[in-house]
Amino acid sequence: MKVLGVESSCDETGVALVEAGPTGVPTLRAHALHSQIAMHQAYGGVVPELASRDHIRRVLPLTEQVLREAGASLADVDVVAFTRGPGLAGALLVGAGVACALAAALGKPVLGVHHLEGHLLSPFLASDPPEFPFVALLVSGGHTQLMRVDDVGRYELLGESIDDAAGEAFDKSAKLLGLGYPGGPALARLAESGRPDAYALPRPLLHSGDLDFSFAGLKTAVMTQLRKLGDTPTDVQRADVAASTQAAIVEVLLKKSLAALKQTGLKRLVVAGGVGANSRLRAQLNAECAKRQVRVHYPELALCTDNGAMIALAAAMRLQRGTVAGHDYGFDVRPRWPLASLAAAAV
Ligand code: KG4
Ligand code: ZN
């Protein structure tokens, strides 16, 4: 079975072809990505209308590229999958429209996929894939969640951010530091030359006793700290603020992940979403999990941020478990869509 996946929920157009047998981990035949970062950079963030228009321009050439690289043709595609949500409504509609039109033209079924389910399952495409059950730390630009994952579609929300997501905290703090968009990688780069203990920034909800997160206060603390440094902080001060901010975010993510592992008694952690690319987070999780005989799994670095491979993969894994792709091409999208609600639906 060959599944073509289309991702267009935000500022990356991703297309991929995944091949799957009736069981076993699906394999990635080819994937292609176009990032809109350069286009949105001038505005300091994603402009939804520009994002939608660019997805329209990119999606078919990327599809042709993927098929060419996989040595396949459209006739070989058995199922077309697309990101149904959550994400920007207009951007989602482009991927959904193209996927459904392609499937209709080919007479093949379509399947709408949850974007976070894609992130969550993306480590299955790594060379050392995880096994169920595991705790998942989902850290993207819009979501920060800890989930217990027993199988595809069996997700229990253990805790989540009550305000800003971790990626948002990186992005907003980066903006305050005058760094470009997307802020996470830029802040992480600046932090390399700073001291993580230079400024005592808050670790929100660290001792709350539950597995929820809150990052909105951190951004305010970064703003206050920068004000104290005056109009022209030195490069050293800016690097120190970046390192201290990153240290605060990473410490909260680390401690809460360890608490989730303790609470569930599970010995496996999967880290997914863009912030999962952060090297301080990876280093600290690896060190602390090793002490506790916990295995940590990440997606390949190239599949940490948004991509089509994770969408084709999630669809293939669902199909292996009996989800039926449909021939109803009257698509809809779900800009807001809680991942935990999938557990209630039939897999
Ligand atoms: O998963 P993702 O690509 O898109 C969403 O679904 O949101 O995540 C994007 C987020 C952004 O907030 C970006 O700043 C952050 O991931 N990010 C990072 C790093 N790479 C990406 N944050 C910290 N360190 C990084 N190396
Ligand atoms: Zn994402």
Cα-to-centroid distance, 248 and ligand 2 (Å):
22
Atom of ligand 1 nearest to the CA of 143: 7
pLDDT for 50: 96
112 lies in the same domain as 141: no
Q: What is the pLDDT of residue 347?
A: 46
Which residue, 301, 144, 288, 175, is CA-closest to 242? 175
Angle value at C-alpha 336, between 277 and 312, nearest 5 degrees: 55
pLDDT of residue 345: 65
Query: What are the phi and psi torsion angles at 268 (to 5°)?
Result: -140, 135
199 pocket-lining for ligand 1 (C-beta < 6 Å): no
311 and 289, same domain (yes or no): no
The token duo for 218 is 């951190």
**Rounded CA separation 297/130 (Å):** 6
The answer to whether residue 89 is domain-embedded is yes
Q: Is 174 in the pocket of ligand 1 (CB under 6 A)?
A: no
**CB proximity list for 235: less than 8 A, separation 6 or greater:** none
Helix (H) or strand (E) holding 329: none
Residue 306 beta carbon below 6 angstroms from any ligand 1 atom: yes
Q: Which ligand is nearest to the CA of 33?
A: 1
Q: Which residue has the least CA distance to atom 16 on ligand 1?
A: 274
Q: 43, 71 in Cβ contact below 8 A? A: no
pLDDT at 344: 63
Domain shared by 235 and 141, yes or no: yes
Give the closest residue to 306 by CA, choosing from 151, 122, 125. 122
Residue 185 Cβ contacting ligand 1 at under 6 Å: yes
Residue 346 lies in a domain: no
Q: Find the CATH number of the domain harbouring 65.
A: 3.30.420.40
pLDDT digits (tens, 9 = 90+) for 90-116: 999 999 999 999 999 999 999 999 999
Residues near 45 by Cβ (< 8 Å), separated by ≥ 6? 171, 181
39 vs 238: CA distance, rounded Å: 26
Q: Whose CA is nearest to atom 23 of ligand 1?
A: 184
Asked if residue 9 belongs to a domain, the reply is yes
Identify whether residues 212 and 316 lie together within a single domain: no
Total count of domains within the chain:
2
Low-confidence ranges of the chain (pLDDT < 70): 344-347
Q: Is 180 in the pocket of ligand 1 (CB under 6 A)?
A: no
Distance CA 37, CA 346 (A): 37
The residue behind tokens 């098929």 is 67
Distance 139 CA to ligand 2 centre (A): 9
Q: Please check whether residue 316 lies inside any domain of the structure.
A: yes
Question: pLDDT by residue (tens digit) across 9-34?
Answer: 999 999 999 999 999 999 999 999 99
Identify whether residues 224 and 164 lie together within a single domain: yes
**Cβ(184) to ligand 1 under 6 A?**
yes
- For residues 40 and 57, membership in a common domain is answered with yes
Write the residue with the smallest CA distance to atom 11 of ligand 1: 141
Q: What φ, ψ does residue 79 adopt, rounded to 5°? A: -140, 140
Per the CB < 8 A criterion, the answer to whether 326 and 111 are in contact is yes
133 lines ligand 1 (CB under 6 A): no
Query: Six-digit token pair at 93?
Result: 């509609």
Same domain, 272 and 145: yes
Ligand minimally distant from the alpha carbon of residue 275: 1
In-domain check, residue 126? no
Distances (CA, A) of 171 to 132, 164, 274: 32, 10, 11
Exposure string of 205-218, with b = 16+ CB inside 10 Å and e = fewer, is beeeeebbbbbebb
- Centre of ligand 2 from the C-alpha of residue 87, in Å: 9
Distances (CA, A) of 48 to 52, 55, 177, 196: 6, 11, 24, 35
Determine the atom of ligand 1 nearest the C-alpha atom of 246: 23
Length of the chain (residues): 347
- Within 8 A by CB and 6+ apart from 320, the residues are 20, 22, 23, 26, 152
Contact 90, 109 (CB under 8 A): no
Residue 245 CB–ligand 1 contact under 6 Å: no
CB 51 within 8 A of CB 36: yes
Provide the residue range defining the domain that includes 148: 131-298
